Structure 1
Amino acid sequence: MSVPSSKNKWLTKDVFNWSLFDFANSTFATIIVAFVYAIYFKKVVALNEPVADFYWSTAINISMIIVAVLSPVLGAASDHFSCKKKYLFFFTFLCIISTAFLYFITEGMVLWGMILFILANIGFQAGLGFYDAFIKEISEHKNYNRVSSLGYAVGYLGSLASLAAVIVLQDTPRLTFLACAGMFLLFSLPIFLFVKEKKKEAEVEPGNFVKIGFKRTIETLKHIKNFRNIKLFLFSYFLYIDGVNTIIFFSANFAQTTLNFSIADLILFFIIVQVTALLGSFLFGWIADKTSTKKTLIFIILSWAVLTLMVFFANDKTTFLVIGAFAGTFLGSSQALSRSFFGKLIPDEKKTEFYGFYSLFEKTSTILGPLTFGLVSWLTGNQRYAVLSIIVFFVAGFLLFRKVKENPDPVLPDGV
């Protein structure tokens, strides 16, 4: 597949078909991770016991640790053999099947409820590294912000479609798990059917997939000291995206437990967040193109810290809904611009491998944040203190990110 020339528009068929996968996986992120299953697990499966938050954060952590270990190795090997799509398909299928089987989870089935969620989340999270790496094949460097922002915007359309399914099936929440699996399957098909993976022109050295993956990962780790700018970004990303992901995991839980949101209130909250997130993806993508991606991300990170502090003091539903509207504008943009910013820093020859490291830092970050939130909530019996702890991640992430160079010298595959 050839990369679009500068004369072509940035919105190509490949870009559109690629973006539909964001629509597909957003159904899982909304229905399973952030909303229906997250609440169903606590209220029904875990019988609303005080330890339910800890069970949920443990399931998240186990899945993230597994993905964190797998991502760089699989990414390195898929770069070597040019087989991103094959592994994207495997993990997508794992997520879809496991999600469908959540239909059979009922009261008290904590262990099976955790196991199926862990498998589904492994499929969802592991696939993202392969999906993200396609951005360097379907788009030019100058269009990364637009393309990445489009993906997240289309993803939020998927979230709105998911909420429509939730509204229709709100009296039978288990059916929403089947609806999620069906939508994920349907909208993931375009990337598998129509987007071609760029194959290496040089002859590929034969060998065991896993062995080569470990070999290339170890080589990169040995040279990681030479990738100082990339290393700085990854550690800063580890911190600030930890705060974002923790908010995603526990927002519905906090709204219902602390502010007594009803299901109707939660649906309204998520509609507001998804609409503003869609708009924010385009707005801040445009701002980043007009100013700089780094300055835009700094503003977004600091805004997250302020909004998190406001949640600590929120005492009524209206205030929380207003905060949610502002948070939504930063949600898609913080993810989209981070993805495109990283794409500008890494060498083309190791794109999937480095996006594997990107995935590793993102996934391991979601171990610390949710675990901190779950433990603080459990030990204090007050979710507000758990919310306050999230601010630390945004502040620390900002302090590191401001040292990252936005336009460094070109990076060779070995970092020198």
Structure 2
Amino acid sequence: MALFSQSALRPGVRKREVFGWAMYDFANSGYTTVVITAVFAAYFVGGIAKGAPWGAFAWTVALSVSYAIVMLSMPAIGAWADLHAAKKKVLAVVTAGCVLGTAALAFTPQAGGAAGVALAMALVVVSNTFYSYGESLTGAFLPELATAEGMGKVSGWGWAFGYVGGMLALGLCLGYVLWSQAHALPASHFVPVTMLITAAIYGAAACVTFSLLPERAIPSAPGERRSAWQQLRETFQQARAYRDFMWLLACTVCYQGGVAVAITLAAIYAEQVIGFVPSETMVLIFVLNIAAALGAFGFGYLQDRIGHRRALGGTLLAWVAVCLIAASVTTKGGFWWAASIAGLAMGSSQSAGRAMTGVLAPPRQLAEFFGLWTFATRLAGIIGPLSYGAITWMTGGNQRIAILTTAVLFVAGLLLLLPIDMRRGRAAALREEGGPQSGVEPFAAR
């Protein structure tokens, strides 16, 4: 934990608490890496859906349903957690939900036919919904741990640590897949085991978080409490006071839509368009996670130095390049270049977005505002993959056109990033706290 100085942390915060917080990134990254990206996504399309033209679309529908549930419920859950200082308690419940949902995916290959497709889609909805709740709630702890000037470093460190967790889960799964293939065992045998491995790592690593990370929030006095929906209604009525945060949400919807395409459809594209086999895809995603960890860690420091907006803008340019390269290459070697750049851009763009949210969120409404950020990322998760799946279906399975149109989302994100003023947004977030005199530090970065 000597990777950043104590000055990056708020007064009274110990480095072991940051380690505990980062362990949740470590825990849940295996879910996105193995289930959403590398293993189950490709198996769903090629194995459960038997390679049908609607397979990719059905996969994106399942994800979109889960994101819609999160969009409609997470801001209110966040507001309730703020009012009752219950982020940690709610995080424990949703973690159990995701772990159990992931483990249950092990039963889908045995179902077969339409029942198998329906069961797989339902369990993906359940597990991904709980995963999304957890991602939002753990993000809400960040401003309690890091200063505004150190937010990028701490966020980047946590996200980089998360990719290490993803690599551990994927590495263990890859080892079992290679052993299974050497013994001529089918995917219907080894995919269930990878789901159990992923669930076990998630649950075990999350226990470290719950043992080291305290709940620092203070519950509102009973006479001051309003319902979560009343709190949300008031926040939206005051949206003009948080205009830079609202611009960030609009920007997030666009660029995270493109990132969601990369996360949910990379393995499908690699296997069905470029010609990768499952073991090659897993190695590809493993290396992509290494690049993402380096991107998140390095850009965390660069972000605090050059400013959040500039750092995020640079990563969005890199994403545009990824889309152009992926749409044009025909060889595995060429696709490796696109994947490597995507890895660097993925870690840095996700870390930057979380840190910017932490800077612009009012200290007394952290879970609520991170719930709004989750609303934006999940709306992006619907728009990006669903449009990709629809374009693929309408063009007779032409995923090259679909990945090329994804570049438009990153360009739109760049344009929506321009109006954001981080100084002004931080000042608005601290207005009700009384500024520096209240013990909440000012913000000097760009």
TM-score between both structures, scaled by the size of structure 1 = 0.94
Matches of residues 5-404 of structure 1 in structure 2 within 5 Å? Answer: 6=7, 12-106=15-109, 107-108=112-113, 109-170=116-177, 171=180, 172-200=190-218, 203-205=221-223, 212-380=227-395, 381-404=397-420
Query: Counterpart in 1 of 2:437?
Result: none
Q: Deviations over 1:17-54 (max 9, x none)?
A: 11011011001001111111111111221122111111
Retained in 1: the 8 A contact 2:8–2:147?
A: no
Structure 1 gaps, min length 5: none
Whole-angstrom CA distance in 2 between matches of 1:79 and 1:369: 30
* CA shift for structure 1 position 8: 6.8
Whole-angstrom CA distance in 1 between matches of 2:260 and 2:14: 29
Query: Counterpart in 1 of 2:441?
Result: none
Whole-angstrom CA distance in 2 between matches of 1:286 and 1:200: 31
* CA shift for structure 1 position 316: 0.4
Stretches (4+) displaced over 6 A? 7-11, 413-416
* CA shift for structure 1 position 82: 0.4
Retained in 2: the 8 A contact 1:223–1:414?
A: no
Q: Deviations over 1:160-219 (max 9, x none)?
A: 112212222213121000011100000001121221101327634486xxx711110111
Tell me which amino acid in the other structure corresponds to 1:198. R
Structure 2 gaps, min length 5: 181-189, 434-446
Retained in 1: the 8 A contact 2:296–2:351?
A: yes
Count matched residues.
410
* CA shift for structure 1 position 221: 1.2
Q: Kindly, what percent of the aligned residue pairs are identical?
A: 28
- Partner SS for 2:381: helix
Retained in 1: the 8 A contact 2:56–2:389?
A: yes
Retained in 2: the 8 A contact 1:80–1:204?
A: no
- Partner SS for 1:411: helix
Cα distance change on mapping 1:97 and 1:303 into 2, 3 Å: same
Matched, 1:411 2:418: no
Whole-angstrom CA distance in 1 between matches of 2:357 and 2:137: 14
Cα distance change on mapping 1:132 and 1:217 into 2, 3 Å: same
* CA shift for structure 1 position 373: 0.4
Tell me which amino acid in the other structure corresponds to 1:383. Q
Whole-angstrom CA distance in 2 between matches of 1:342 and 1:240: 15
Cα distance change on mapping 1:117 and 1:369 into 2, 3 Å: same
TM-score between both structures, scaled by the size of structure 2 = 0.88
Which moved further from structure 2: 196-205 or 354-363? 196-205
| RMSD after superposition | 2.0
* CA shift for structure 1 position 413: 7.4
Retained in 1: the 8 A contact 2:91–2:138?
A: yes
* CA shift for structure 1 position 7: 9.0
Cα distance change on mapping 1:340 and 1:7 into 2, 3 Å: closer
* CA shift for structure 1 position 225: 2.4
